[in-house]
Chains A and B, each alone.
Chain A
Amino acid sequence: MVNPIRFFTERFPVAIGDIEELLGTALSQGGDYADLYFEYTVVNNLSLEEQIVKTAGRSINQGVGVRVIVGERSGYAYCDAIDATEIRRAAATAAHIASQPRAVGPVGVTIRRPEQNLYPVENIIGQQPIERRIELLERLDSSARGFDRRIREVQAGLADEYKVVMIATSTGVLIGDVQPLARMRVMCIADEDGNLQSGVSGGGGRLGIDHFTSDLVDRYAREAARQAVVQLDAREAPAGSMEVVLGPGWPGILLHEAVGHGLEADFNRKGSSAFSGMIGQRVASDLCTVVDEGTIPHRRGSLNIDDEGNPTSRTVLIEKGILRGYLQDRLSASLTGASLTGNGRRESYRHLPMPRMTNTYMTSGESDPEEIIRSVKRGLYAVQFGGGQVDITSGKFVFSASEAYLIEDGRLTAPVKGATLIGNGPQSLTRVTAVGNDLALDEGIGTCGKDGQSVPVGVGMPTIAISEMTVGGTK
């Protein structure tokens, strides 16, 4: 296992003494706090379509971001070169956010190790022979085509990331982590007499190549093919307000959009979220407990430490319907006197950290999922979703179903076309009337965007019933 501190200090011209001196430079104009974020990321990509491996690629992104905080103000600068001279220039730039020059010596740092080791990975994908990775893509292709003769095109991709980070803070911490991340994706197009339909599947996490067994690869391939084929027979989706049952797993994107973003501490500190000032109030039915948990082993949204060097944790956001907490980064926590939750994340060394979700899910309830469907007279059962989005301030959120069925008299009848569902964050979960005993986490392909920054996240949910939600079909 690579030691991240040694990785940076031995590979690049930056000694621990330099780091201490650089923190001093960052605080040379005043400032309450400073940190340095060192990153070295190798991304490998391999993609197949038209039954051939069209491209292979490898990118190296390396650099250092320097942040200085004064009160509510943050100064930020970064450089691509990991050497003390370039970083010093960035530190001097970031320092300008403050305006009270002072003589500051080096800031001593102590090496710490993360307290958790959530993703020890053997056989990192990028270090495997490319032939082995190509085999996986070829298997996705043949397995998807074998599912149904109407599968006409298959696109398959395998991307993996190997990120080494080191964070030095003016509170005296020097800590690092090695963060592998893998993702397999397959998209199928089914064609029946010119009726074209698509299906997407895949999965991954902080995992090595051994995770992608033949069985799993076949499952992804058949799932994408199945979705495309089901859509060939889809009717128009219904329009209007109706009862909605969401299946387990990825439909948990509901939580991410309806409550997750609205509970990020930056929006609440500023009073710009529909959830501002609602701690202790009812925001969901008492069947709902929602947590954000960055500590689930090998999950895509998990981290040993967040991008500010603090341990991730399990944060209860909603407990039996009552709003309990927000997701904090260092800045919001220190300004509001809250405890850190380990949710300070950033896309790369080129970005300032901010409060972000990790893996957000609803805990299991007691209902039998089949019983939940049987209890619905007329409604929609949605099991697969594309993306979602939320307006934090008004609380309105959407998420788009890509596979859904009509429920008529307690039975699933016809598949319907994709449709967007829209709701109001603080209200939607109050309408949850049943929570299944079948909690599932998603397969590990989610990416969340906020303020132009993308980070990997996870979601999860048991089957749930919502008494009323607006479904954006055409009929």
Chain B
Amino acid sequence: MIENLSSDLLARIVRMALDRGASDAEAIGISSSEFSVEVRLGEVEKLTEATSRGIGLRVLRHGRQASCSTSDTGEAAIEDLVSTAVDLASRTSVDEAATLPPASEMATNIPDLQICDPEVAAIPTATRVELAREAEAAARAADSRIVNSEGAAFSSVTSEVTLVSSAGFAGSYRSSLCSLAVAPIAREGQQMQVGYWGDRRRRLRDLQSAREIGEIAARRALRKLGARKVSTGTFPVVFENTAAEDLLRDLFEAVNGGAIFRRASFLVGRLGEAIASPLVTIVDDGILPGGSGSRPFDGDGLPSRRTVVINQGVLESYLLNSYTARKLNLPSTGNATRGLTGAPSIGVGNFFLAPGVSTPDEIIRSVPNGFYVTETIGFGFNPVTGDYSRGAAGWWISNGELAFPVEEVTIAGNLRDMLRGIEMTGDDLHLRGKIASPTIKIDRMTVSGD
């Protein structure tokens, strides 16, 4: 059960802040119930269950801003929260762009985006344990070379977010999220390989079946057995759909309004220009029914929306919250995200590359000699320059066929060139998490190995 942090309580906190000298104030309450179970080799290993809540308060004093939060929701703590925030906001600098968005921009109705499934909170513990067991059992039964497991986990969280601001906004929504994942380990000779697979959904009925998750995870572990390095060179690179998600994550950093106004992105000043192959259309949809990234309003209280970021290769929009929109003199795209602490930052809704017409097989068959990337590892992307260099694993493609598994290599290039070099996009887009992509083929990257 979630205990409410009512909008009445938050409205009272906002009033307290105004009474003490704030020119504007915004309070957020987040309460959540979480559950997780981890099963390993058939036995329950960890079981966690808890409810938690916290309150955040952002205070403005004529352009001076401060932000405080507490997980203690008692009266004395709230008193302290307000007085600290109001006091801190008298010490920071005047920032002309630090204002609350006007009431006219704020969400006036809260659409039902089907992001809260009451079933998620109602599943009996035994069923949750069983789902994790079943996923792991399916993975272990898949092949005699699956000899071990890092375990399987089922977790769920239901939460309620309430936002109240002195600019006239008060809104609240509930959401749920459940996930099931498993990591079996395959062994052949001296080589051990782990395979991960999982699914993450707002609604329990959308979750991939435990058996399917287990079988896919086993396949992902098995297909890595026998992997080796390859020689260094420049080759076409195909990213499997799940690996291509990582590229979209990088691209998000570069279209993030925070990086744009700080001039910390290679996409500064490029609106309206062709920055990618005409095959590339990238959308951020914050109102997709049932989407993991959907929410009725953003962290500024603005309605969520659908934004075309890249349209057939042309950069049409950055992703902005109110603050960065003001800094850039553009309208907000409703992408503010707000934790308990700090000013609103920017996050995706459901951010995806639109599917193309080719099947993944057709894409692989088009490559005479190249690399099929199924996993990337590391943090080797620099949004300021676009430079990209990451560890990778996958398969070598010879004459359009997957020839042998590859590991311990890097792939490198610059995202600027990689976006232009997208030659094919797959028809295999699956919106599981907040970020998704179909399989893509990039004309050339440096593969570094021996």
**Which of A's residues lie within 8 Å of B, judged by CB?**
43, 45, 49, 52-63, 72-81, 90, 93, 96-97, 130-131, 134, 152-153, 155, 189, 191, 196-198, 237, 239-241, 270-272, 274, 350, 352, 386-394, 396-400, 417-424, 470-475
Task: List, in ascending order, chain A residues with CB within 8 A of B263's CB.
Answer: 152-153, 189, 191, 196
Q: How far is the CB of A198 from chain B (nearest CB, A)?
A: 5
Contact A75 B47 (CB under 8 A): yes
Q: Are A272 and B150 in contact (CB under 8 A)?
A: yes
- Choice from A198, A387, A419 contacting B412 with Cβ under 8 Å: A419
Q: Mark B381-393, 1 if CB is under 8 A from A, else 0.
A: 0101101011101
Task: Report B-chain residues with C-beta under 8 Å of the C-beta of A474.
Answer: 389, 412-414, 446
A60 adjacent to B407 (CB under 8 Å): no
The reply to whether B407 and A54 form a contact with Cβ atoms under 8 Å apart is: no
A472, B377: Cβ atoms closer than 8 Å? no
* Distance (whole angstroms) from the CB of A330 to the closest CB of chain B: 14
**Do residues B47 and A74 form an inter-chain contact, with CB atoms below 8 A?**
yes
Does chain A have a CB within 8 A of B4? no
Task: Say yes or no: B43 contacts A422, CB within 8 Å.
Answer: no
> Nearest 8 A-B pairs (CB), nearest first?
A472-B410, A52-B93, A398-B378, A398-B391, A420-B380, A239-B448, A393-B194, A387-B379
A72 in contact with B88 (CB, 8 Å): no
Q: In B296-353, which residues have CB < 8 Å from any A CB?
A: 340-343
Docked-complex contact B342 and A55, CB < 8 angstroms: yes
Let me know if B67 is at the binding interface, CB within 8 A.
Answer: yes
Beta-carbon contact of A470 and B49 below 8 Å = no
Most buried by A among B50, B65, B414: B50
Q: Give A445 Cβ to nearest chain B Cβ, in Å.
A: 15
| Interface contact B91-A58, CB-CB below 8 Å | no
Known A52-B95, A398-B391, A400-B379: A470·B410 in contact at CB below 8 Å? yes
Bound Cα distance A419, B385 (Å): 13
Closest to A49 in B: B262
Q: What CA separation (Å) do A187 and B166 show in the bound complex?
A: 34
Residues of A close to B407: CB separation below 8 A: 394, 396
Question: Is B92 close to A, CB under 8 A?
Answer: yes
Q: Which of B70-78, B170-178, B287-295 contacts A (4 or more CB under 8 A)?
A: B70-78
Assembly CA distance A92 to B390 (angstroms)? 46
Contact A60–B448 (Cβ < 8 Å): no
Provide 13 A-B residue pairs closer than 8 Å at the C-beta atoms, listed in order of the A residue: A56-B66, A72-B45, A93-B49, A189-B262, A270-B150, A272-B194, A398-B390, A400-B378, A419-B410, A420-B390, A424-B408, A470-B450, A474-B446
Which B residues are in CB contact (< 8 Å) with A55? 65-67, 92, 342-343
Residue of A nearest to B448 (CB): A239
Q: With A and B bound together, what is the CA distance between A93 and B378 in angstroms?
A: 38
Instruction: Say whether B380 contacts A80, CB under 8 Å.
Output: no
- Contact: A134 with B91, CB < 8 Å? yes
Is there a chain A Cβ closer than 8 Å to B109's Cβ?
A: no
* A394-B48 in contact (CB<8A): no
Separation of A97 and B378 alpha carbons in the complex (Å): 36
User: A393 vs B183: C-alpha distance in the bound complex, in angstroms?
Assistant: 11
Q: Is B133 an interface residue (CB 8 A)?
A: no
Q: In whole angstroms, what is the CA distance A398 to B436 when docked?
A: 24
Q: Are A270 and B40 in contact (CB under 8 A)?
A: yes
> Are A470 and B379 neighbours in the complex by a CB distance under 8 Å?
no
**Assembled-state Cα–Cα distance A73/B191 (Å):** 29
Q: Is B373 in the interface zone, CB < 8 Å from A?
A: no
Option from B70, B232, B268, B385 in Cβ contact (under 8 Å) with A197: B385
Q: Are B71 and A60 in contact (CB under 8 A)?
A: yes
Bound-complex Cα distance A472 to B408 (A):
10
In the bound complex, do residue A63 and residue B194 qualify as a contact, i.e. CB atoms below 8 Å apart? no
Output the least CB separation between B352 and chain A (Å).
24
Q: Write the residues of chain B forming the contact surface with A, with a CB cutoff of 8 angstroms.
A: 40, 43-54, 65-74, 77, 80-81, 84-85, 88-89, 91-95, 98, 148-150, 185, 191-194, 224, 227, 229, 232, 262-264, 266, 268, 340-343, 377-380, 382, 384-385, 387, 389-391, 393, 407-414, 446, 448-450
18 additional A-B pairs beyond A59-B70, A400-B380, beta carbons within 8 Å, are: A43-B341, A54-B93, A55-B66, A60-B81, A75-B46, A75-B48, A76-B47, A77-B50, A155-B262, A196-B264, A196-B266, A198-B382, A240-B448, A272-B194, A389-B379, A400-B378, A420-B390, A474-B413
Residues of A within 8 A of B385 (CB): 196-197, 417
Q: Which residues of A contact B47 (CB under 8 A)?
A: 73-76, 96-97
Please name the residue on chain A nearest to B73 by beta carbon.
A80
Contact B412 A472 (CB under 8 A): yes
Complex Cα distance, B340 from A470, in Å, reads 42
In the complex formed, the residue of B with least CB distance to A54 is B95
Shortest CB distance A26–B (Å): 13
- Closest residue to B382 on the A side, CB-wise? A418
**With A72-B43, A153-B262, A155-B262 as contacts: A62 and B409 at CB distance below 8 Å:** no
Q: Which residue of A lies closest to B54 (CB)?
A: A80
Complex contacts, B50 vs chain A, CB 8 Å: 76-79, 90, 93, 350
Nearest-CB residue, chain B, relative to A421: B410
Chain B positions within 8 Å of A152 at CB level = 263
Of chain B, the residue at the smallest CB distance from A65 is: B50
List, in ascending order, chain A residues with CB within 8 A of B89's CB: 56
B53 cross-chain contacts in A, Cβ below 8 A: 80
Q: Which residue of A lies closest to B340 (CB)?
A: A59
Tell me whether A472 and B390 are in contact (CB under 8 A): yes
Q: In whole angstroms, how far apart are the Cα atoms of A58 and B57 in the complex? A: 10
Contacts of A388 on B, CB cut-off 8 Å?
378-379
If A49-B262, A77-B50, A198-B384 touch, whether A59 touches B68 (CB-CB below 8 Å) is yes
Q: Once the chains are docked, how many angstroms separate the CA of A424 from the CA of B85?
A: 49
Q: How far is the CA of A474 from the CA of B232 in the complex (A)?
A: 10
Complex Cα spacing A74 to B94, Å: 50
* Given A63-B52, A393-B185, A472-B391: A419 touches B380 (CB 8 Å cut-off): yes
In the complex, the answer to whether B65 meets A422 with C-beta atoms within 8 Å is: no
> CA A325 – CA B387 in complex, angstroms?
39
Shortest Cβ gap from B248 to chain A (Å)? 19
Q: Which one of A131, A153, A394, A399 has the greatest number of beta carbons of chain B within 10 Å?
A: A394
